Chain A
Amino acid sequence: MILLRLAAIAVLGFLIAPMVVVIAMSFSATEVLRFPPTGLSTRWYEALAADPRWLLAARNSVLVAGAVTALATVLGTLAALGLHLGRFRGKAVLAAVFAMPIVTPYIVTAASMFLAFSAIGIAGGFVGLVLAHTVIAVPFVVLTVAAALRTFDANLLRAAASLGAPPATAFRRVVVPAILPGIAAGAIFAFATSLDEFVITLFMAGPGQFTLPRQMYAAVREYLSPTILAAATLLFLASTLFLLASEALRLRAARRAR
C-alpha cells in the first residue's frame, strides 16, 4: 500500500517536474537558461507579446482551433446521436471507425492526409489544416457526447413525440439541453486538441502558416531563449484550464443525472 503510494507520487513527480522547471525558468531575468533561474522578471512574456511572429502564430492557432471546434462539435454530436439512437447492423464497427484517429499514429494520419489533400489541392492552407485537425478532434466529441447520452432517458424523446414535437424540435428542446455538458466538454477537447497539435500541422500547414506549436518548434531550432518557455507556460496554462472546465462540466452533468 505504501509502496503503491510512493510509486504514484514518483510517477506524478516525473510527469510534473519538467513543467515546473519550465514555468520557473520562464520568469528568469537573464537570457541564460538555468534552473533555478537567476532573478525574477516577466520580460520574456513582454517579448512574446511584442513579437509579431508569436502573435501571428497565436492568431492562427485560435482561428484554426475555433473553426475545428465548431466543425468537430457538430459532426461529433450528430455521429454520437446516430450511434446511440440508430438500430442497424455494423454499429459497433462504425463506433470503432469513429474512434480510430485516436489510436492511429499521428504521423500516419498526417502523411496519408497530406497525400490525399494534395491530390485534391487543399493541402497547405487554412481549409486543409482545419479539416485535418477536425478528423482527430471528432473522436473526442463523439466519446464525450456518447457518455452524456448514456444517462439520457430515451423515454424523454418518446414523451416529446407524443406531445406533438417533430424530431427536430424534440432534438433542439429536449435532447440538446440534456446533453449540453457533454457537448461542451467535447468542444473543449476539440479546441485543446487543435491548439496542441503539431505533427499534422507540420505536414498540412502552408509555408507561412505558423501555429503556436509550430512557431515554438521553429524558435527552438533557431535560438533557445526563455521566450519559448513563456509560450510553453501559457499553452500549459490554457490546457490546464480546459481540463478543469471539462471536468467541472462532467461533475455537473453527473450531479444533474441523479
Chain B
Amino acid sequence: MSDTLVRFTGVSKSYDGATQVVADLHLDIRRGEFLTLLGPSGSGKTTTLMMLAGFEEPSAGAIEIAGRAVQKLPPHRRDIGVVFQSYALFPHMTVAGNLAFPLQVRGVGKAEISERVKAALELVRLPNFADRRPGQLSGGQQQRVALARALIFRPELVLMDEPLGALDKQLREELQGEIRQLHRRLGVTIVYVTHDQSEALTMSDRIAVFEGGRIRQLGTPAELYDAPADPFVAGFIGENNRLEGVMEEGGTVRLWDGTRVRTAAEVPAGTPVLLSLRPEHITLDASAAGNLARVRVEEVVYLGDHSRVRVAFAGGSLVAKVTRGQFSGVMGAEVGIGFATTDLRVFVRNTT
C-alpha cells in the first residue's frame, strides 16, 4: 500500500480564465500526516482545500484520493470531513442531531448512532451537551462539536479551513493542542489551512507555504524555519532581519552602506543578494565567532523571559532576541554584537 493518500497533479484553478488562483499545483499528501497549507490571504491555500473537498472544480489537472481520480466526484461521495471557520453547525438541530446527521444519511442504525454520538461527545469533552442547540454554545464549544461531527463518520481525511480563526488567543491555543491530540489518537490525515505561521509551526508534520497560487516550499516546520528556500518563506515563517548587498569574493557581502559581512555562501561575485538573519542568532556578548561589530542600542523591549534589542547597523537596524540575564545594556549604550557566518541565509536577489 502506498503511503500517499492524496495526490494533486498539475492542478490549476481560474475563475475568469485569466488569473490563476491556483497554478500548476503538484502535491502529495501522506497517509496519516498533519499537513498545513500556510500562506497569506489570496495565496490559493483555501481554494486548494475547497477543490479537495469537492466544493470547487479544478480548471485543469487531476486530484487523486487513495489512487482514485476524484475531481468529478461530488462532495457528498468523497467521505471527507470538513471543519469550517464559521463552524457551520445546523442551527435548527441539537448537538446530538448535528452529530447524528452524517450517520443518518449513511443509514446507520439508531442504537449505533446514539452510541457513537455519545462517544464522539466524550472525545471532544462535551459529554453533557447532547440536547443543547448550537446557538447556546460558546465559539470554542461549537467548534468542538463541529470537530466531532467531521470525525464521527470515520473519514480517512479531514480538512480544516482556518478552524480557530474566529476564537481568541487562549482558546485557540487550547484547541490547537486538542486537535493535535485527536490527530495522534485517531491517526486520520489532516489537511489544515491557516495564515498563522506560529499555528502552522506548532501543529504540523509538514507545511506547504503558498504564495501567488503556488507552493513556495514544502517541508517540516524545522526545515522551513532553518532552511527557508527563498526570501518569501524566510519572511513568512518566523521573524528575520533583512539586509541587502552585493556578493564579493570569498563569501563576503558588501552591504549598501559599505559594511562588509562574511557569509558561508558560494555565490559568484557581483550577484545582488538578500541576507536574512534570525533575531535569536545575534549575540550581544561579542564573543561569537564570525561577524563582529560595535553598535549602538536604539531600543530595548523587555518581554519577561527574553528581551528584544534593536541596534543600529549598516545604516538601518537589526533586532536581536536575547535570553533573560544575558544582556543588561540600556538605550544609547554601545555594545558588541556577533553572528555566525552560517546563520546568515543568502538569497540571490531578483533585480527585475
A joins B in a complex: yes
Which residues from chain A sit less than 8 Å from chain B, CB to CB?
153, 155-156, 158-167, 169-170, 173-174, 177-178, 256
Q: A47 vs B23: C-alpha distance in the bound complex, in angstroms?
A: 79
A163 touches B92 (CB 8 A): no
A169 touches B74 (CB 8 A): no
Chain A neighbourhood of B82, CB < 8 A: 158-159, 162
Chain A neighbourhood of B92, CB < 8 A: 177-178
Q: A170 vs B93: C-alpha distance in the bound complex, in angstroms?
A: 13
B76 close to A (CB within 8 Å) = yes
Interchain nearest-CB distance for B103 vs A (Å): 9
Chain B residue at minimum C-beta to C-beta distance from A154: B88
B102 touches A163 (CB 8 A): yes
Chain B residue at minimum C-beta to C-beta distance from A163: B102
Question: Which residues of B in the span 113-167 have a Cβ within 8 Å of any Cβ on A?
Answer: 149-150, 153, 159
Given contacts A161-B54, A166-B74, A166-B76, 7 further A-B contacts (CB under 8 A): A153-B88, A158-B88, A163-B81, A164-B79, A164-B106, A177-B92, A256-B91
B84 close to A (CB within 8 Å) = yes
* Cβ contacts B73-116/A at 8 Å (1 or 0 each): 01111111110101011111000000001100110000000000
B53 close to A (CB within 8 Å) = yes
Partner of B76, one of A155, A164, A173, A178: A164
B90 touches A156 (CB 8 A): yes
Q: A161 vs B105: C-alpha distance in the bound complex, in angstroms?
A: 10
A163 touches B74 (CB 8 A): no
Chain A residue at minimum C-beta to C-beta distance from B15: A87
Chain B neighbourhood of A153, CB < 8 A: 86, 88
Q: A7 vs B79: C-alpha distance in the bound complex, in angstroms?
A: 63
Interchain nearest-CB distance for A170 vs B (Å): 8
What number of A-B contacts does a CB cutoff of 8 Å give? 69
Q: A178 vs B91: C-alpha distance in the bound complex, in angstroms?
A: 8
12 A-B pairs in the complex with CB atoms less than 8 angstroms apart: A153-B86, A159-B82, A159-B88, A161-B55, A162-B80, A162-B81, A164-B79, A166-B74, A167-B76, A169-B105, A177-B90, A177-B92
Which residues from chain B sit less than 8 Å from chain A, CB to CB?
53-55, 74-82, 84, 86, 88-92, 101-102, 105-106, 149-150, 153, 159
Interchain nearest-CB distance for A234 vs B (Å): 36
Interchain nearest-CB distance for B284 vs A (Å): 50
Q: A158 vs B55: C-alpha distance in the bound complex, in angstroms?
A: 7
Q: A161 vs B81: C-alpha distance in the bound complex, in angstroms?
A: 10
A162 touches B86 (CB 8 A): no
A164-B105, A165-B105 known; A174-B86 Cβ under 8 A:
no
A161 touches B91 (CB 8 A): no
B86 touches A158 (CB 8 A): no
A155 touches B105 (CB 8 A): no
Q: A173 vs B105: C-alpha distance in the bound complex, in angstroms?
A: 10
Partner of B153, one of A160, A163, A178: A163
Interchain nearest-CB distance for B335 vs A (Å): 54
- Across chains A and B, which 4 residue pairs bring their CB atoms closest together, nearest first? A163-B102, A159-B88, A162-B82, A161-B75
A164 touches B88 (CB 8 A): no
Chain B neighbourhood of A161, CB < 8 A: 54-55, 74-76
Chain B neighbourhood of A160, CB < 8 A: 76, 90, 101
Chain B residue at minimum C-beta to C-beta distance from A257: B91
A155 touches B91 (CB 8 A): no
B101 touches A173 (CB 8 A): yes
Q: A220 vs B149: C-alpha distance in the bound complex, in angstroms?
A: 64
Q: A156 vs B86: C-alpha distance in the bound complex, in angstroms?
A: 9
Q: A253 vs B205: C-alpha distance in the bound complex, in angstroms?
A: 44
